[in-house]
């Protein structure tokens, strides 16, 4: 594929909460369709915490289902890669960064470069994933707060100025509709960094209760939540911001989010330490 066909990064509108857009098809490659603009949020190929949006693309009288939006990229010498086959991190020089729509089923003959397409995201799936992602960030901030006294050294601050356990220990995060599962490594490197794993293990039930108390307070505040962008393309920096009672939290984030904590009836977590070196935090959100 010649790189001039896909010379500009995809313009994205999902940070504003958009679910629909008209766009021009730029390329059809295998089972994916690339358009010049899209409301679809793609799963990130390097940190796949939030699944990509699903939905539909309509060209003329033909409608085809989008199984999932994914990242794609084309190098300056014309190499086209999709999803986990992309050999570099997002934003790397020498590559143009795109959103590709992985289609579910045969792509109609009408879906060709130059055609006009109507794109529509599955609204219910988007809403559930957005609540799950917001709940995930809130749970992580509440976790940092609940563990703040367990540090003998300063690990650096999180978005609210508390010791950043999340940043030091998180190894995986998976967001699903109205919830998330995060894993934290409690190994030798964390202990060397000054974290008291033994006291944490002995007091985990009290700390879980403290997290849930903080989350209940934040949900009751109905705080505004939003995505702030530096620009319109898929590679421009995006941040999640939430005006919590303790101050405005601002975290680099490529996902989608609830517009207000009033969208939640509750957010709760459960902590599991079945493996003494692996903390698993399961976050559950109940929509209002």
Which string of b and e fits 102-113 if b means at least 16 CB within 10 Å? bbeeebbeebee
pLDDT at 5: 63
More confident residue, 91 or 13: 13
62-108 pLDDT tens trace = 999 999 999 999 999 889 999 999 999 888 889 999 999 999 989 99
Q: What integer is the mean pLDDT of 206-232?
A: 98
4, pLDDT greater than 80: no
148-188 pLDDT tens trace = 999 999 999 999 999 999 999 999 999 999 999 999 999 99
How does residue 3 score in pLDDT terms, banded at 50, 70 and 90?
A: low
pLDDT at 284: 98
Q: Which CATH number among 3.30.420.610, 1.10.40.50, 3.30.980.10, 1.10.1740.10 corresponds to the domain 125-287?
A: 3.30.980.10
Q: Under a CB-based contact definition with an 8 Å cutoff, are residues 69 and 38 in contact? A: yes
Mean pLDDT, the chain, whole residue set:
96
Residue whose C-alpha is closest to residue 144's, from 168, 124, 123: 168
Q: Under a CB-based contact definition with an 8 Å cutoff, are residues 29 and 91 in contact? A: no
**Helices (H), ranges, the chain:** 123-146, 165-169, 188-192, 197-202, 204-221
246, pLDDT greater than 60: yes
Sign of CA dihedral 167, 44, 52, 115: positive
pLDDT at 2: 54
Q: Cα–Cα distance between 249 and 114 in angstroms, integer?
A: 42
250, pLDDT greater than 90: yes
Q: Cα–Cα distance between 217 and 213 in angstroms, integer?
A: 6
Q: What integer is the mean pLDDT of 24-52?
A: 96
**Domains of the chain: which residue ranges?**
3-121, 125-287
CATH 3.40.50.2000 fits 3-121, yes or no: no
Left, alpha or beta for 104 (phi > 0: left; psi -120 to 50: alpha)? beta
């Amino acid at each position: 594929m010649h790189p001039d066909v896909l010379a500009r990064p995809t313009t994205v509108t999902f940070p504003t909460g958009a679910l629909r857009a008209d766009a021009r098809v730029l390329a059809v490659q295998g089972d994916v369709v690339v358009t010049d603009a899209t409301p679809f949020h793609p799963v990130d190929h390097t940190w796949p915490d939030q699944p990509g949006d699903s939905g539909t693309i309509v060209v003329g009288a033909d409608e085809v289902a989008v199984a999932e939006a994914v990242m794609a990229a084309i190098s300056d010498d014309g190499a086209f890669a999709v999803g986990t086959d992309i050999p570099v991190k997002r934003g790397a020089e020498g590559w143009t960064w795109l959103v590709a729509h992985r289609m579910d089923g045969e792509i109609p003959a009408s879906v060709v470069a130059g055609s006009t397409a109507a794109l529509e995201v599955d609204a219910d799936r988007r809403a559930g994933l957005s609540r799950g992602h917001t709940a995930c960030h809130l749970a992580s901030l509440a976790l940092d707060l609940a563990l703040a006294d367990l540090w003998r050294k300063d690990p650096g601050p999180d978005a609210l100025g508390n010791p950043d356990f999340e940043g030091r220990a998180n190894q995986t995060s998976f967001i699903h509709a109205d919830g998330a599962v995060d894993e934290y490594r409690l190994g030798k490197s964390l202990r060397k960094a000054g974290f008291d794993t033994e006291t944490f293990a002995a007091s985990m039930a009290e700390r879980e209760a403290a997290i849930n108390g903080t989350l209940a307070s934040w949900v009751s505040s109905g705080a505004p939540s939003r995505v702030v962008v530096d620009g319109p393309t898929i590679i421009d920096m995006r941040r999640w911001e939430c005006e919590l009672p303790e101050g405005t939290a601002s975290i680099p984030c490529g996902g989608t989010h609830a517009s207000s904590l009033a969208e939640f009836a509750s957010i709760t977590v459960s902590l599991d330490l079945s493996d003494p070196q692996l903390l698993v935090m399961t976050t559950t959100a109940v929509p209002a």
